[in-house]
A and B are shown apart, each in its own frame.
Chain A
Protein backbone atom coordinates (compact mmCIF):
# COMPACT_ATOMS: atom_id res chain seq x y z
CA UNK A 1 0.00 0.00 0.00
CA UNK A 2 1.86 3.08 -1.20
CA UNK A 3 -0.83 5.64 -1.62
CA UNK A 4 -1.47 7.72 1.49
CA UNK A 5 -5.23 7.92 1.02
CA UNK A 6 -5.33 4.15 0.60
CA UNK A 7 -3.52 3.70 3.89
CA UNK A 8 -5.83 6.01 5.78
CA UNK A 9 -8.86 4.31 4.23
CA UNK A 10 -7.46 0.92 5.13
CA UNK A 11 -6.95 1.95 8.77
CA UNK A 12 -10.58 3.03 8.99
CA UNK A 13 -11.77 -0.12 7.20
CA UNK A 14 -9.91 -2.43 9.59
CA UNK A 15 -11.50 -0.82 12.62
CA UNK A 16 -14.91 -0.77 11.03
CA UNK A 17 -14.85 -4.33 9.64
CA UNK A 18 -13.47 -5.97 12.73
CA UNK A 19 -15.66 -4.10 15.16
CA UNK A 20 -18.84 -4.50 13.14
CA UNK A 21 -18.25 -8.25 13.42
CA UNK A 22 -19.04 -7.72 17.10
CA UNK A 23 -22.47 -6.23 16.48
CA UNK A 24 -25.93 -7.71 15.84
CA UNK A 25 -25.60 -11.50 15.79
CA UNK A 26 -27.25 -13.22 12.83
CA UNK A 27 -29.85 -16.00 13.29
CA UNK A 28 -27.16 -18.50 12.25
CA UNK A 29 -25.03 -17.32 15.16
CA UNK A 30 -27.85 -17.90 17.63
CA UNK A 31 -28.46 -21.38 16.24
CA UNK A 32 -24.76 -22.18 16.57
CA UNK A 33 -24.63 -20.85 20.10
CA UNK A 34 -27.77 -22.72 21.10
CA UNK A 35 -26.58 -26.02 19.65
CA UNK A 36 -23.18 -25.77 21.36
CA UNK A 37 -24.72 -24.74 24.66
CA UNK A 38 -27.12 -27.68 24.40
CA UNK A 39 -24.25 -30.09 23.73
CA UNK A 40 -22.38 -28.64 26.69
CA UNK A 41 -25.43 -29.03 28.92
CA UNK A 42 -25.80 -32.64 27.79
CA UNK A 43 -22.14 -33.32 28.59
CA UNK A 44 -22.46 -31.76 32.03
CA UNK A 45 -25.59 -33.78 32.82
CA UNK A 46 -23.83 -36.98 31.78
CA UNK A 47 -20.89 -36.02 33.99
CA UNK A 48 -23.36 -35.53 36.83
CA UNK A 49 -24.83 -38.96 36.06
CA UNK A 50 -21.34 -40.49 36.14
CA UNK A 51 -20.56 -38.84 39.48
CA UNK A 52 -23.89 -40.10 40.86
CA UNK A 53 -23.61 -43.66 39.57
CA UNK A 54 -19.85 -44.17 39.60
CA UNK A 55 -17.22 -44.86 36.95
CA UNK A 56 -18.99 -48.10 35.99
CA UNK A 57 -21.13 -46.12 33.54
CA UNK A 58 -18.06 -45.53 31.37
CA UNK A 59 -16.49 -48.32 29.33
CA UNK A 60 -13.28 -48.20 31.39
CA UNK A 61 -12.24 -51.57 32.75
CA UNK A 62 -9.28 -53.59 33.85
CA UNK A 63 -6.78 -53.53 32.02
CA UNK A 64 -7.94 -50.49 30.01
CA UNK A 65 -8.19 -47.86 32.74
CA UNK A 66 -7.45 -44.91 30.44
CA UNK A 67 -9.82 -44.41 27.56
CA UNK A 68 -11.79 -41.65 25.91
CA UNK A 69 -11.35 -39.15 28.74
CA UNK A 70 -7.57 -39.22 28.56
CA UNK A 71 -7.80 -39.21 24.75
CA UNK A 72 -9.91 -36.07 24.99
CA UNK A 73 -7.48 -34.50 27.44
CA UNK A 74 -4.50 -35.04 25.14
CA UNK A 75 -6.57 -33.97 22.13
CA UNK A 76 -7.63 -30.66 23.67
CA UNK A 77 -4.19 -29.83 25.04
CA UNK A 78 -2.89 -30.50 21.52
CA UNK A 79 -5.49 -28.18 19.99
CA UNK A 80 -4.30 -25.46 22.32
CA UNK A 81 -0.73 -25.69 21.10
CA UNK A 82 -0.90 -24.29 17.65
CA UNK A 83 -2.59 -21.22 19.08
CA UNK A 84 0.67 -20.51 20.85
CA UNK A 85 2.62 -21.49 17.77
CA UNK A 86 0.78 -18.99 15.61
CA UNK A 87 0.78 -16.19 18.13
CA UNK A 88 4.18 -16.60 19.78
CA UNK A 89 6.51 -18.59 17.53
CA UNK A 90 5.46 -16.84 14.34
CA UNK A 91 5.79 -13.53 16.17
CA UNK A 92 9.39 -14.31 17.09
CA UNK A 93 10.06 -15.29 13.47
CA UNK A 94 8.41 -12.05 12.26
CA UNK A 95 5.96 -13.92 10.03
CA UNK A 96 3.58 -11.17 9.01
CA UNK A 97 0.68 -13.41 8.01
CA UNK A 98 0.13 -14.28 11.65
CA UNK A 99 -1.72 -11.00 12.25
CA UNK A 100 -4.75 -12.36 10.45
CA UNK A 101 -5.01 -15.38 12.71
CA UNK A 102 -3.29 -14.67 15.98
CA UNK A 103 -6.27 -13.38 18.00
CA UNK A 104 -8.50 -16.35 17.15
CA UNK A 105 -5.58 -18.69 17.71
CA UNK A 106 -4.89 -17.22 21.16
CA UNK A 107 -8.57 -17.44 22.09
CA UNK A 108 -8.55 -21.01 20.88
CA UNK A 109 -5.56 -21.78 23.10
CA UNK A 110 -7.20 -20.42 26.22
CA UNK A 111 -10.53 -22.16 25.57
CA UNK A 112 -8.91 -25.46 24.56
CA UNK A 113 -6.83 -25.54 27.77
CA UNK A 114 -9.99 -24.85 29.76
CA UNK A 115 -11.72 -27.73 27.98
CA UNK A 116 -8.73 -30.01 28.46
CA UNK A 117 -8.59 -29.15 32.15
CA UNK A 118 -12.05 -30.65 32.65
CA UNK A 119 -10.97 -34.12 31.61
CA UNK A 120 -8.57 -35.06 34.39
CA UNK A 121 -11.39 -34.03 36.75
CA UNK A 122 -13.96 -36.12 34.86
CA UNK A 123 -11.54 -39.02 34.73
CA UNK A 124 -10.84 -38.85 38.46
CA UNK A 125 -14.15 -40.46 39.26
CA UNK A 126 -14.22 -39.00 42.75
CA UNK A 127 -14.08 -35.49 41.35
CA UNK A 128 -14.65 -33.94 44.75
CA UNK A 129 -11.12 -34.96 45.76
CA UNK A 130 -9.54 -33.02 42.90
CA UNK A 131 -7.70 -30.82 45.40
CA UNK A 132 -5.47 -33.76 46.26
CA UNK A 133 -3.63 -32.78 43.09
CA UNK A 134 -2.64 -29.43 44.54
CA UNK A 135 0.78 -29.19 46.16
CA UNK A 136 0.03 -29.00 49.87
CA UNK A 137 0.82 -31.41 52.71
CA UNK A 138 -1.90 -33.84 53.81
CA UNK A 139 -2.98 -34.51 57.43
CA UNK A 140 0.16 -36.54 58.04
CA UNK A 141 2.31 -33.76 56.55
CA UNK A 142 3.23 -35.84 53.51
CA UNK A 143 3.50 -33.75 50.33
CA UNK A 144 2.46 -34.64 46.79
CA UNK A 145 4.88 -36.77 44.79
CA UNK A 146 6.90 -34.47 42.56
CA UNK A 147 8.50 -37.47 40.87
CA UNK A 148 5.20 -38.38 39.27
CA UNK A 149 4.49 -37.19 35.71
CA UNK A 150 0.88 -36.58 36.77
CA UNK A 151 2.17 -33.93 39.17
CA UNK A 152 4.29 -32.40 36.39
CA UNK A 153 1.10 -32.22 34.38
CA UNK A 154 -0.62 -30.15 37.06
CA UNK A 155 2.21 -27.62 36.97
CA UNK A 156 2.62 -27.64 33.18
CA UNK A 157 -1.06 -27.26 32.33
CA UNK A 158 -1.83 -24.63 34.95
CA UNK A 159 1.25 -22.60 33.96
CA UNK A 160 0.21 -22.94 30.34
CA UNK A 161 -3.28 -21.69 31.07
CA UNK A 162 -2.03 -18.72 33.09
CA UNK A 163 0.59 -17.58 30.59
CA UNK A 164 -1.73 -18.09 27.60
CA UNK A 165 -4.47 -16.09 29.31
CA UNK A 166 -2.04 -13.25 30.09
CA UNK A 167 -0.72 -13.30 26.52
CA UNK A 168 -4.27 -13.25 25.12
CA UNK A 169 -5.24 -10.34 27.34
CA UNK A 170 -2.09 -8.28 26.76
CA UNK A 171 -2.45 -8.66 22.99
CA UNK A 172 -5.97 -7.32 23.26
CA UNK A 173 -5.40 -4.20 25.39
CA UNK A 174 -4.97 -1.74 22.46
CA UNK A 175 -7.89 -3.26 20.56
CA UNK A 176 -10.13 -3.04 23.61
CA UNK A 177 -9.28 0.65 23.79
CA UNK A 178 -10.46 0.95 20.17
CA UNK A 179 -13.61 -1.08 20.88
CA UNK A 180 -14.42 1.32 23.70
CA UNK A 181 -14.82 4.17 21.18
CA UNK A 182 -17.35 2.21 19.16
CA UNK A 183 -19.70 1.15 21.93
CA UNK A 184 -22.10 2.61 24.45
CA UNK A 185 -23.62 1.53 27.73
CA UNK A 186 -22.52 -1.61 29.50
CA UNK A 187 -20.17 -2.67 26.77
CA UNK A 188 -18.38 0.69 26.74
CA UNK A 189 -17.97 0.34 30.48
CA UNK A 190 -16.64 -3.21 30.09
CA UNK A 191 -14.10 -2.29 27.41
CA UNK A 192 -13.08 0.81 29.34
CA UNK A 193 -12.25 -1.26 32.39
CA UNK A 194 -10.53 -4.00 30.41
CA UNK A 195 -8.41 -1.60 28.38
CA UNK A 196 -7.05 -0.14 31.64
CA UNK A 197 -7.04 3.43 30.32
CA UNK A 198 -4.67 2.64 27.47
CA UNK A 199 -3.84 5.69 25.33
CA UNK A 200 -0.97 4.49 23.15
CA UNK A 201 1.74 6.91 24.27
CA UNK A 202 5.24 6.02 23.17
CA UNK A 203 6.23 5.00 26.70
CA UNK A 204 3.30 2.61 26.93
CA UNK A 205 4.10 1.13 23.53
CA UNK A 206 7.73 0.76 24.45
CA UNK A 207 7.05 -1.30 27.56
CA UNK A 208 4.23 -3.07 25.79
CA UNK A 209 6.43 -4.22 22.90
CA UNK A 210 9.00 -5.50 25.34
CA UNK A 211 6.41 -7.34 27.40
CA UNK A 212 4.86 -8.89 24.31
CA UNK A 213 8.26 -10.07 23.15
CA UNK A 214 9.02 -11.63 26.54
CA UNK A 215 5.67 -13.36 26.73
CA UNK A 216 6.18 -14.76 23.24
CA UNK A 217 9.66 -15.88 24.22
CA UNK A 218 8.28 -17.61 27.32
CA UNK A 219 5.32 -19.17 25.56
CA UNK A 220 7.50 -20.89 22.98
CA UNK A 221 9.54 -23.14 25.30
CA UNK A 222 6.42 -23.50 27.44
CA UNK A 223 4.40 -25.01 24.63
CA UNK A 224 7.17 -27.51 23.94
CA UNK A 225 7.36 -28.45 27.61
CA UNK A 226 3.60 -28.85 28.06
CA UNK A 227 3.06 -31.48 25.43
CA UNK A 228 6.33 -33.16 26.35
CA UNK A 229 5.04 -33.48 29.90
CA UNK A 230 1.73 -34.82 28.58
CA UNK A 231 3.65 -37.40 26.54
CA UNK A 232 5.66 -38.39 29.62
CA UNK A 233 2.41 -39.33 31.34
CA UNK A 234 2.74 -42.30 29.02
CA UNK A 235 6.45 -42.58 28.34
CA UNK A 236 7.43 -42.75 32.04
CA UNK A 237 5.58 -46.06 32.38
CA UNK A 238 7.05 -49.37 31.21
CA UNK A 239 4.18 -50.30 28.90
CA UNK A 240 5.12 -51.50 25.39
CA UNK A 241 4.18 -48.81 22.87
CA UNK A 242 4.41 -46.05 25.50
CA UNK A 243 7.88 -46.46 26.93
CA UNK A 244 9.84 -44.67 24.24
CA UNK A 245 12.08 -41.62 24.03
CA UNK A 246 10.53 -40.36 20.80
CA UNK A 247 7.26 -39.54 22.56
CA UNK A 248 8.00 -35.93 23.52
CA UNK A 249 8.91 -34.55 20.07
CA UNK A 250 6.33 -36.84 18.47
CA UNK A 251 3.55 -35.45 20.67
CA UNK A 252 4.65 -31.84 20.19
CA UNK A 253 4.60 -32.23 16.38
CA UNK A 254 1.20 -33.91 16.58
CA UNK A 255 -0.14 -31.16 18.80
CA UNK A 256 0.87 -28.40 16.42
CA UNK A 257 -0.52 -30.39 13.51
CA UNK A 258 -3.93 -30.87 15.10
CA UNK A 259 -4.05 -27.31 16.40
CA UNK A 260 -3.28 -25.84 12.99
CA UNK A 261 -6.14 -27.87 11.57
CA UNK A 262 -8.43 -26.52 14.28
CA UNK A 263 -7.42 -22.93 13.45
CA UNK A 264 -8.58 -23.53 9.88
CA UNK A 265 -11.79 -25.19 11.08
CA UNK A 266 -12.61 -22.14 13.20
CA UNK A 267 -11.37 -19.29 11.02
CA UNK A 268 -13.04 -20.38 7.74
CA UNK A 269 -16.62 -19.95 9.01
CA UNK A 270 -15.63 -16.90 11.09
CA UNK A 271 -14.21 -15.18 8.01
CA UNK A 272 -17.31 -15.95 5.99
CA UNK A 273 -19.87 -14.94 8.60
CA UNK A 274 -18.10 -11.71 9.56
CA UNK A 275 -17.03 -10.85 5.99
CA UNK A 276 -13.36 -10.53 6.89
CA UNK A 277 -12.23 -11.53 3.39
CA UNK A 278 -10.07 -8.44 2.98
CA UNK A 279 -8.20 -9.03 6.19
CA UNK A 280 -7.88 -12.80 6.16
CA UNK A 281 -6.92 -13.61 2.59
CA UNK A 282 -6.29 -16.75 0.55
CA UNK A 283 -2.55 -16.04 0.87
CA UNK A 284 -2.89 -16.24 4.63
CA UNK A 285 -4.65 -19.57 4.32
CA UNK A 286 -1.97 -20.84 1.99
CA UNK A 287 0.69 -20.04 4.59
CA UNK A 288 -1.26 -21.91 7.25
CA UNK A 289 -1.74 -24.83 4.84
CA UNK A 290 2.02 -25.01 4.43
CA UNK A 291 2.44 -25.33 8.20
CA UNK A 292 -0.20 -28.05 8.13
CA UNK A 293 1.65 -29.92 5.40
CA UNK A 294 4.99 -29.55 7.16
CA UNK A 295 3.69 -30.81 10.49
CA UNK A 296 1.85 -33.65 8.74
CA UNK A 297 5.17 -34.79 7.29
CA UNK A 298 6.76 -34.57 10.75
CA UNK A 299 3.99 -36.66 12.24
CA UNK A 300 4.23 -39.23 9.45
CA UNK A 301 7.97 -39.41 9.98
CA UNK A 302 7.34 -40.07 13.68
CA UNK A 303 4.97 -42.91 12.80
CA UNK A 304 7.72 -44.54 10.76
CA UNK A 305 10.39 -43.99 13.41
CA UNK A 306 8.12 -45.33 16.12
CA UNK A 307 7.51 -48.48 14.14
CA UNK A 308 11.16 -48.83 13.23
CA UNK A 309 12.27 -48.44 16.85
CA UNK A 310 9.84 -51.15 17.91
CA UNK A 311 10.68 -53.63 15.18
CA UNK A 312 14.45 -53.17 15.50
CA UNK A 313 14.33 -53.33 19.30
CA UNK A 314 14.36 -57.12 19.21
CA UNK A 315 11.87 -56.95 22.06
CA UNK A 316 8.88 -59.21 21.41
CA UNK A 317 6.51 -57.10 23.53
CA UNK A 318 7.52 -53.88 21.82
CA UNK A 319 7.17 -55.22 18.27
CA UNK A 320 4.04 -57.13 19.30
CA UNK A 321 2.41 -53.91 20.50
CA UNK A 322 2.99 -52.22 17.15
CA UNK A 323 1.88 -55.16 15.05
CA UNK A 324 -1.23 -55.21 17.21
CA UNK A 325 -1.90 -51.57 16.26
CA UNK A 326 -1.49 -52.37 12.58
CA UNK A 327 -3.53 -55.57 12.31
CA UNK A 328 -5.19 -56.06 15.73
CA UNK A 329 -8.63 -55.30 17.12
CA UNK A 330 -8.29 -51.53 16.62
CA UNK A 331 -6.79 -51.74 13.10
CA UNK A 332 -9.54 -49.72 11.39
CA UNK A 333 -8.93 -46.81 13.73
CA UNK A 334 -5.18 -47.02 13.08
CA UNK A 335 -5.67 -47.10 9.32
CA UNK A 336 -8.15 -44.25 9.57
CA UNK A 337 -5.53 -42.27 11.48
CA UNK A 338 -2.89 -42.95 8.79
CA UNK A 339 -5.27 -41.89 6.01
CA UNK A 340 -6.33 -38.67 7.75
CA UNK A 341 -2.95 -37.60 9.12
CA UNK A 342 -0.43 -38.87 6.60
CA UNK A 343 -2.08 -39.59 3.27
CA UNK A 344 -4.73 -36.90 2.72
CA UNK A 345 -2.54 -33.93 3.77
CA UNK A 346 -0.10 -34.86 0.99
CA UNK A 347 -2.62 -33.25 -1.38
CA UNK A 348 -1.40 -29.92 0.00
CA UNK A 349 1.65 -30.23 -2.23
CA UNK A 350 -0.70 -29.10 -5.02
CA UNK A 351 -0.89 -25.32 -4.99
CA UNK A 352 -4.46 -25.17 -6.33
CA UNK A 353 -5.79 -27.31 -3.49
CA UNK A 354 -3.77 -25.43 -0.93
CA UNK A 355 -5.57 -22.28 -2.06
CA UNK A 356 -9.05 -23.78 -2.10
CA UNK A 357 -10.91 -22.82 1.07
CA UNK A 358 -13.60 -25.55 0.88
CA UNK A 359 -10.91 -28.17 0.34
CA UNK A 360 -8.85 -26.88 3.27
CA UNK A 361 -11.93 -26.86 5.45
CA UNK A 362 -12.79 -30.50 4.77
CA UNK A 363 -9.15 -31.47 5.16
CA UNK A 364 -8.89 -29.68 8.51
CA UNK A 365 -11.87 -31.63 9.84
CA UNK A 366 -10.33 -34.90 8.64
CA UNK A 367 -7.09 -34.01 10.41
CA UNK A 368 -8.99 -33.27 13.62
CA UNK A 369 -10.59 -36.70 13.42
CA UNK A 370 -7.28 -38.35 12.54
CA UNK A 371 -5.47 -36.77 15.46
CA UNK A 372 -8.20 -37.78 17.89
CA UNK A 373 -7.88 -41.36 16.57
CA UNK A 374 -4.10 -41.20 17.01
CA UNK A 375 -4.40 -40.49 20.72
CA UNK A 376 -7.09 -43.14 21.14
CA UNK A 377 -4.99 -45.76 19.35
CA UNK A 378 -1.86 -44.95 21.36
CA UNK A 379 -3.66 -45.06 24.68
CA UNK A 380 -6.03 -47.99 24.21
CA UNK A 381 -3.98 -50.49 22.19
CA UNK A 382 -1.05 -50.41 24.59
CA UNK A 383 -3.27 -50.92 27.62
CA UNK A 384 -5.45 -53.61 26.15
CA UNK A 385 -2.58 -55.90 25.18
CA UNK A 386 0.57 -55.63 27.25
CA UNK A 387 2.86 -58.38 28.56
CA UNK A 388 0.73 -61.12 30.02
CA UNK A 389 -2.00 -62.67 27.82
CA UNK A 390 -3.95 -63.44 30.99
CA UNK A 391 -4.31 -59.70 31.57
CA UNK A 392 -5.43 -58.73 28.09
CA UNK A 393 -8.80 -57.11 27.49
CA UNK A 394 -10.72 -54.90 25.10
CA UNK A 395 -12.27 -51.50 25.64
CA UNK A 396 -15.30 -50.00 24.00
CA UNK A 397 -16.31 -46.43 24.84
CA UNK A 398 -19.73 -46.18 26.49
CA UNK A 399 -22.41 -43.71 25.47
CA UNK A 400 -21.67 -41.58 28.52
CA UNK A 401 -18.10 -41.10 27.32
CA UNK A 402 -19.28 -40.19 23.81
CA UNK A 403 -21.76 -37.72 25.31
CA UNK A 404 -19.17 -36.07 27.52
CA UNK A 405 -16.83 -35.79 24.53
CA UNK A 406 -19.61 -34.13 22.55
CA UNK A 407 -20.17 -31.88 25.55
CA UNK A 408 -16.51 -30.80 25.47
CA UNK A 409 -16.89 -29.75 21.83
CA UNK A 410 -20.04 -27.87 22.83
CA UNK A 411 -18.13 -26.09 25.62
CA UNK A 412 -15.28 -25.13 23.31
CA UNK A 413 -17.46 -23.85 20.47
CA UNK A 414 -19.75 -22.04 22.88
CA UNK A 415 -16.80 -20.15 24.36
CA UNK A 416 -15.44 -19.39 20.91
CA UNK A 417 -18.79 -18.08 19.66
CA UNK A 418 -19.14 -15.85 22.73
CA UNK A 419 -15.61 -14.58 22.07
CA UNK A 420 -16.45 -13.60 18.49
CA UNK A 421 -19.21 -11.30 19.69
CA UNK A 422 -17.61 -9.94 22.83
CA UNK A 423 -14.00 -9.27 21.87
CA UNK A 424 -12.20 -7.99 18.75
CA UNK A 425 -11.61 -11.12 16.65
CA UNK A 426 -8.67 -9.77 14.65
CA UNK A 427 -5.70 -7.83 16.02
CA UNK A 428 -6.59 -4.36 14.69
CA UNK A 429 -3.43 -2.52 15.77
CA UNK A 430 -1.22 -5.21 14.31
CA UNK A 431 -3.01 -5.21 10.97
CA UNK A 432 -2.52 -1.45 10.78
CA UNK A 433 1.16 -1.78 11.61
CA UNK A 434 1.70 -4.48 9.01
CA UNK A 435 -0.18 -2.47 6.38
CA UNK A 436 2.07 0.54 6.91
CA UNK A 437 5.34 -1.32 6.63
Chain B
Protein backbone atom coordinates (compact mmCIF):
# COMPACT_ATOMS: atom_id res chain seq x y z
CA UNK B 1 0.00 0.00 0.00
CA UNK B 2 1.37 3.37 -0.85
CA UNK B 3 0.32 6.77 0.35
CA UNK B 4 0.77 9.71 -1.95
CA UNK B 5 0.75 13.44 -1.24
CA UNK B 6 0.88 15.97 -4.02
CA UNK B 7 1.60 19.69 -3.74
CA UNK B 8 1.84 22.67 -6.04
CA UNK B 9 4.56 24.51 -4.18
CA UNK B 10 7.87 23.76 -2.61
CA UNK B 11 6.89 25.24 0.75
CA UNK B 12 3.82 23.06 1.32
CA UNK B 13 5.83 20.06 0.20
CA UNK B 14 8.67 20.74 2.60
CA UNK B 15 6.32 21.39 5.52
CA UNK B 16 4.55 18.08 4.96
CA UNK B 17 7.82 16.24 4.51
CA UNK B 18 9.16 17.64 7.78
CA UNK B 19 5.96 16.68 9.55
CA UNK B 20 6.18 13.13 8.21
CA UNK B 21 9.81 12.72 9.18
CA UNK B 22 9.14 14.09 12.67
CA UNK B 23 6.13 11.85 13.13
CA UNK B 24 8.48 8.91 12.82
CA UNK B 25 7.93 7.58 9.31
CA UNK B 26 11.04 5.69 8.30
CA UNK B 27 13.15 7.77 5.89
CA UNK B 28 13.84 4.73 3.79
CA UNK B 29 10.16 4.35 2.97
CA UNK B 30 9.76 7.92 1.77
CA UNK B 31 10.42 8.87 -1.80
CA UNK B 32 9.87 12.31 -3.31
CA UNK B 33 9.36 13.54 -6.83
CA UNK B 34 10.09 17.18 -7.54
CA UNK B 35 10.27 19.31 -10.70
CA UNK B 36 13.74 20.55 -9.75
CA UNK B 37 16.34 19.57 -7.14
CA UNK B 38 15.13 20.45 -3.63
CA UNK B 39 18.25 20.24 -1.51
CA UNK B 40 16.34 20.62 1.77
CA UNK B 41 14.46 17.40 1.00
CA UNK B 42 17.69 15.62 0.11
CA UNK B 43 19.22 16.68 3.41
CA UNK B 44 16.16 15.60 5.37
CA UNK B 45 15.94 12.16 3.80
CA UNK B 46 19.52 11.18 3.12
CA UNK B 47 22.31 13.46 4.23
CA UNK B 48 25.14 11.34 2.86
CA UNK B 49 27.14 12.74 -0.06
CA UNK B 50 26.53 11.39 -3.53
CA UNK B 51 29.16 8.76 -4.44
CA UNK B 52 29.36 10.22 -7.96
CA UNK B 53 32.52 11.92 -6.69
CA UNK B 54 34.33 8.58 -6.28
CA UNK B 55 33.58 7.62 -9.88
CA UNK B 56 34.78 11.03 -11.02
CA UNK B 57 37.95 10.91 -8.98
CA UNK B 58 38.83 7.39 -10.07
CA UNK B 59 38.22 8.28 -13.73
CA UNK B 60 40.27 11.45 -13.52
CA UNK B 61 43.24 9.71 -11.89
CA UNK B 62 43.04 6.86 -14.38
CA UNK B 63 42.94 9.38 -17.24
CA UNK B 64 46.00 11.21 -15.96
CA UNK B 65 48.00 8.00 -15.55
CA UNK B 66 46.81 6.73 -18.93
CA UNK B 67 47.89 9.99 -20.59
CA UNK B 68 51.45 9.77 -19.30
CA UNK B 69 51.74 5.99 -19.66
CA UNK B 70 50.49 6.04 -23.24
CA UNK B 71 52.72 8.88 -24.48
CA UNK B 72 55.81 7.58 -22.69
CA UNK B 73 55.19 4.03 -23.92
CA UNK B 74 54.88 5.19 -27.53
CA UNK B 75 58.10 7.22 -27.54
CA UNK B 76 60.04 4.43 -25.82
CA UNK B 77 58.70 1.79 -28.20
CA UNK B 78 60.47 3.64 -31.05
CA UNK B 79 62.78 6.34 -29.72
CA UNK B 80 62.95 8.95 -32.48
CA UNK B 81 64.26 12.44 -31.76
CA UNK B 82 62.08 15.13 -33.32
CA UNK B 83 62.81 18.86 -33.18
CA UNK B 84 65.77 18.27 -30.88
CA UNK B 85 63.43 17.45 -27.99
CA UNK B 86 64.09 14.80 -25.38
CA UNK B 87 62.72 11.33 -26.03
CA UNK B 88 60.47 11.54 -22.97
CA UNK B 89 59.25 15.14 -23.35
CA UNK B 90 57.22 15.36 -20.17
CA UNK B 91 56.23 19.00 -20.72
CA UNK B 92 54.55 18.15 -23.99
CA UNK B 93 52.95 15.03 -22.59
CA UNK B 94 51.38 16.99 -19.73
CA UNK B 95 48.93 18.39 -22.25
CA UNK B 96 47.80 14.94 -23.40
CA UNK B 97 47.54 13.77 -19.78
CA UNK B 98 45.58 16.92 -18.86
CA UNK B 99 43.02 16.37 -21.61
CA UNK B 100 42.65 12.68 -20.80
CA UNK B 101 42.19 13.49 -17.10
CA UNK B 102 39.18 15.61 -18.01
CA UNK B 103 37.88 13.19 -20.63
CA UNK B 104 37.99 10.11 -18.41
CA UNK B 105 36.80 12.02 -15.34
CA UNK B 106 33.80 13.44 -17.20
CA UNK B 107 32.82 10.14 -18.77
CA UNK B 108 33.11 8.11 -15.56
CA UNK B 109 31.13 10.81 -13.70
CA UNK B 110 28.38 10.33 -16.27
CA UNK B 111 28.60 6.54 -16.04
CA UNK B 112 28.53 6.79 -12.24
CA UNK B 113 25.44 8.96 -12.34
CA UNK B 114 23.65 6.50 -14.65
CA UNK B 115 24.60 3.59 -12.43
CA UNK B 116 23.67 5.23 -9.12
CA UNK B 117 20.38 6.67 -10.40
CA UNK B 118 19.54 3.30 -11.94
CA UNK B 119 19.09 4.96 -15.32
CA UNK B 120 17.96 4.19 -17.93
CA UNK B 121 14.77 2.81 -16.37
CA UNK B 122 13.43 0.78 -19.27
CA UNK B 123 10.02 0.14 -17.78
CA UNK B 124 9.64 3.84 -17.14
CA UNK B 125 10.58 4.85 -20.66
CA UNK B 126 7.43 3.71 -22.40
CA UNK B 127 4.84 2.90 -19.77
CA UNK B 128 5.71 5.10 -16.83
CA UNK B 129 4.22 4.38 -13.42
CA UNK B 130 5.38 7.80 -12.35
CA UNK B 131 5.69 10.72 -14.77
CA UNK B 132 8.11 13.58 -14.27
CA UNK B 133 5.48 16.14 -13.34
CA UNK B 134 5.38 19.81 -12.35
CA UNK B 135 4.03 18.75 -8.92
CA UNK B 136 5.94 18.14 -5.72
CA UNK B 137 5.08 14.65 -4.54
CA UNK B 138 5.77 12.51 -1.50
CA UNK B 139 5.26 8.78 -1.74
CA UNK B 140 5.32 6.52 1.32
CA UNK B 141 5.52 2.79 0.94
CA UNK B 142 3.75 1.22 3.89
CA UNK B 143 3.44 -2.46 4.51
CA UNK B 144 -0.21 -3.07 5.00
CA UNK B 145 -2.61 -6.02 4.89
CA UNK B 146 -2.34 -7.72 1.55
Contact = CB atoms under 8 A, between A and B. Distances in A.
Interface of A: 4, 7-8, 11-12, 15, 135, 137, 141-148, 151-152, 155-156, 159, 162-163, 166-167, 170, 174, 177-178, 180-181, 189, 192-193, 195-211, 214-215, 218-219, 221-222, 225, 229, 429-430, 432-433, 436
Interface string B99-117: 1101101110110111011
A299 B53 CA distance: 36
Contact of A199 (B37, B93, B124): B124
A155 B96 contact: yes
B66 to A, nearest CB: 12
A151 B96 CA distance: 9
A155 B93 CA distance: 11
B102 A147 contact: no
A430 B36 contact: yes
B61 to A, nearest CB: 14
The interface centre, meaning the residue of B11, B36, B75 with most chain A CB atoms within 10 A of its CB, is B36
Closest 4 CB pairs of A and B: A197-B124, A197-B121, A143-B74, A177-B132
Given A11-B134, A207-B116, A211-B52, A197 B122 contact: yes
Contacts of A225: 95, 98-99, 102
A57 to B, nearest CB: 32
| Chain A residues touching B, majority SS | helix
B34 A202 contact: yes
Contacts of A214: 52-53, 56, 105-106, 109
Contact of A429 (B35, B53, B56): B35
19 contacts: A4-B9, A4-B11, A8-B8, A147-B83, A147-B92, A148-B82, A152-B92, A155-B96, A156-B95, A163-B106, A196-B114, A198-B124, A199-B121, A200-B33, A202-B31, A214-B52, A214-B106, A225-B98, A229-B95
B95 A152 contact: yes
Contacts of A178: 132, 134
Contacts of A180: 132
Nearest to B67: A155
B62 interface: no
B121 to A, nearest CB: 3
Given A156-B95, A156-B99, A218-B105, A207 B113 contact: yes
B26 interface: no
Given A141-B78, A146-B92, A163-B106, A8 B46 contact: no
A209 B37 contact: yes
Contacts, number: 191
B132 A163 contact: no
Given A11-B134, A159-B102, A211-B52, 19 more contacts: A142-B78, A143-B74, A146-B89, A155-B100, A162-B103, A174-B36, A181-B131, A181-B133, A189-B126, A196-B114, A197-B123, A199-B130, A205-B42, A206-B50, A207-B113, A211-B113, A218-B109, A219-B106, A436-B10
B38 interface: yes
A151 B83 CA distance: 15
Nearest to B98: A225
Contacts of B98: 225
B24 interface: no
A44 B143 CA distance: 64
Given A143-B78, A170-B110, A203 B35 contact: no
Nearest to B31: A201
A377 to B, nearest CB: 27
A185 B76 CA distance: 57
Contact of A196 (B31, B92, B93, B119): B119
Nearest to B51: A207
